Amino acid sequence: MGDLLHSFGKKLLSVIPSANHNAKHSTSTTPTKDTNANNGEAKASSDGYDLPPVRRIVTGHNSKGLGNVKWDTLIPGQATGLVGCKGLRSGALWTTDRVPSNDTNVNVDGALRSIGGQGLVMREGTNLRFTDLAPGESSPMHRTSSVDYNTLITGKLILITDSGSETLLSNPGDTVVMRGSMHAWRNPGPGWCRWVSVLVDAQPAEVNGKTLEDAWLVPSNSP
């Protein structure tokens, strides 16, 4: 683990603008296209990615005020395009742009809202997403001004902190509550892993009067 942590510390790619000040968002009123969820099959890609799309079910109300299913959609994992995220895919499931949210009363697909910075923390709101990581790969070491609820769905995942600790998540349902700590994720294998996260905008962490700024670290040899 020491070599990995040292490698992450080699290069500071960027200090992510604080979600409380600089993140921007826009809202689209075009819902995602409904898909027959029964057709969601896992097909291995050239990199061995074989996890199925996530079936997302969103409720609403009919004209009589009775609950119904508004969207039943398959959300595939997509490459993020972020530096240092080799072997990592993710998908947006829903966001809210305020708390309390008014999404119970608007015809908007929350997954279509854009998020500033690295696309993780919605200013004054929440972000529900899933992340898939290839065996043997790691995420960048990073910190966001948020409280995150991370729950393992399949595979194995190691939580790494900048103090040097490593914690293995090996059972579906294992959950990490991340409170603004610098951390990375690593998949020890043998297969792909998936976890679901809810990120809630929060004040930056402070230790001994020092504000711990958002950051995104990558190894110096990262493409």
Which carries the bigger pLDDT value, residue 64 or residue 5? 64
- Looking at residue 45, what is its pLDDT? 65
**CATH number of domain containing 121:** 2.60.120.10
Tens digit of each residue's pLDDT (9 = 90 or more) over 86-135: 899 999 999 999 999 999 999 999 999 999 888 999 999 999 999 999 99
206 located within any domain: yes
- Looking at residue 23, what is its pLDDT? 39
Residues 185 and 201: their CA atoms lie apart, in Å, by: 20
Tens digit of each residue's pLDDT (9 = 90 or more) over 29-66: 334 444 444 455 556 666 789 999 999 999 999 999 99
55 located within any domain: yes
182 located within any domain: yes
Segments forming the whole domain that contains residue 67: 2-33+49-218
Average pLDDT, stretch 151-168? Answer: 98
- Looking at residue 81, what is its pLDDT? 80
For the record, the structure tokens of 197 come out as: 């996260």
Tens digit of each residue's pLDDT (9 = 90 or more) over 131-145: 999 999 999 999 999
Tens digit of each residue's pLDDT (9 = 90 or more) over 195-213: 999 999 999 999 999 999 9
Q: Are 12 and 142 in contact (CB under 8 A)?
A: no
Bridge partners (DSSP) of residue 131 are: 90, 195
- Looking at residue 116, what is its pLDDT? 87
* pLDDT surpassing 50 at residue 153: yes
Residue of 84, 106, 83 lying closest to 94 (CA atoms): 106
- Looking at residue 83, what is its pLDDT? 80
Which carries the bigger pLDDT value, residue 167 or residue 16? 167
- pTM, whole model, 2 decimals? 0.81
Structural domain count, the chain: 1
- Looking at residue 223, what is its pLDDT? 55
223 located within any domain: no
196 located within any domain: yes
- Looking at residue 157, what is its pLDDT? 99
43 located within any domain: no
* pLDDT surpassing 50 at residue 26: no
Instruction: Give 28-33's long-range contacts (Cβ < 8 A, gap of 24+).
Output: 28/108, 28/109, 28/112, 28/113, 29/107, 29/108, 30/109, 30/112, 31/70, 31/71, 31/107, 31/108, 31/109, 31/112, 32/71, 32/73, 32/75, 32/109, 32/111, 32/112, 33/73
